[in-house]
Structure 1
């Protein structure tokens, strides 16, 4: 039985999809400005690495347990590892001395589960694949229909490729930054049961 579970999870390197990493740190009182300058610098350094797909920062709040959370994405595990094992990242980590206390909490995700992450949940807590698929099918369907209806008058003379590109870009942006965080919170009790 264990072999069949493992077999379902095995994939070839490069086929694992994007990797999202979340690093949560407790900043020493009075060092917030210096830490935010550090975050800006390390994000700029990471963005120069192949496969970097962006970063986000959550400032301390009740939902982050008053910790800063740095989230970054790479297009593959290999590219993420290249950044994480780089001398440049090591130099940036050395600059944290005196700015943070305790150990960093690190979470990693590949594939679609990054749309279902909540900062206050345990590190490896993800919904089951069938629940994620059901929610994503519903959300994608509603967004595609809505965007088609809303944009039809504007894109009436555009070709299929342009219409599709506009709708896909808007859909992914809406899902990532607006819809999925709200849907995940709304359905939290069912998704993570």
Structure 2
């Protein structure tokens, strides 16, 4: 019997587009995003384009309010139809990770999946790292984008913050603080 999941769910899927099919894959991502945004519990989607930090894969990260709402979308006929369209567009099945709450940023390959830090430790680390990243971005790119519309500045700052936290700072902080985070 599956343990009941409580709280928001974050799913990340890493896929490599077949060379020459990148535009088709990006169009496919746009169609999936247009479909999922109407589902109950949907909280947003972020797409990271292929770079060294993503191991040259597209990474799609989507969030739902509850596990049940996420599961309903994942088992839907609409999603099944969209997944069938991936044939010949991506190299292989996507690498999928699904976590609840803050666990997304505390995933170490060498730590068993069932070993999770306490929520207050995760919240403290995320707060400190987010503060550092926001302050760093404010002083480095803030002045260069100050003339842009506020919605565009916010989009740039949030995208930079999430990318840096996900691929640079949270993995480093999690490894550095591993004894404290995962200790007994």
Query: For residues 124-179 of structure 1, what are the alpha-carbon distances to aligned partners after superposition, in whole Å with 9 as ceiling and x for unaligned?
Result: 7697414x633523664896xxxxxxxxxxxxxxxxxxxxxxxxxxxxx79x7388
1:123–1:34 distance in 2 versus 1, CA, 3 Å: farther
Partner of 2:31: 41
The two structures, once aligned, show a CA RMSD in angstroms of: 3.5
Partner of 1:129: 117
Size of the aligned set, in residue pairs, is 151
Partner of 1:20: 10
Unpaired segments of 5 or more residues in structure 2?
132-157, 180-184
Query: Does 2:72 align with 1:82?
Result: yes
Query: TM-score normalized by structure 1?
Result: 0.64
SS of 1:187's partner is helix
Distance 2:111 2:89 in 1: 24
SS of 1:100's partner is coil
Q: Which has the larger radius of gyration?
A: 1
Query: TM-score normalized by structure 2?
Result: 0.66
1:180 shift after superposition: 4.8
Query: For residues 51-109 of structure 1, what are the alpha-carbon distances to aligned partners after superposition, in whole Å with 9 as ceiling and x for unaligned?
Result: 00000111111221111111111011110011001011011111111111122111000
Unpaired segments of 5 or more residues in structure 1?
1-8, 144-172
After the TM superposition, which segments of 4 or more aligned residues of structure 1 sit over 3 Å from their partners? 115-118, 121-128, 138-143, 176-183
1:41–1:192 distance in 2 versus 1, CA, 3 Å: farther
Within a 5 Å distance, the mapping from 1:1-193 to structure 2 comes to 11=4, 16-116=6-106, 128-130=116-118, 133-134=120-121, 136-137=123-124, 140=127, 177=162, 180-181=165-166, 183-192=169-178
1:31 shift after superposition: 0.4
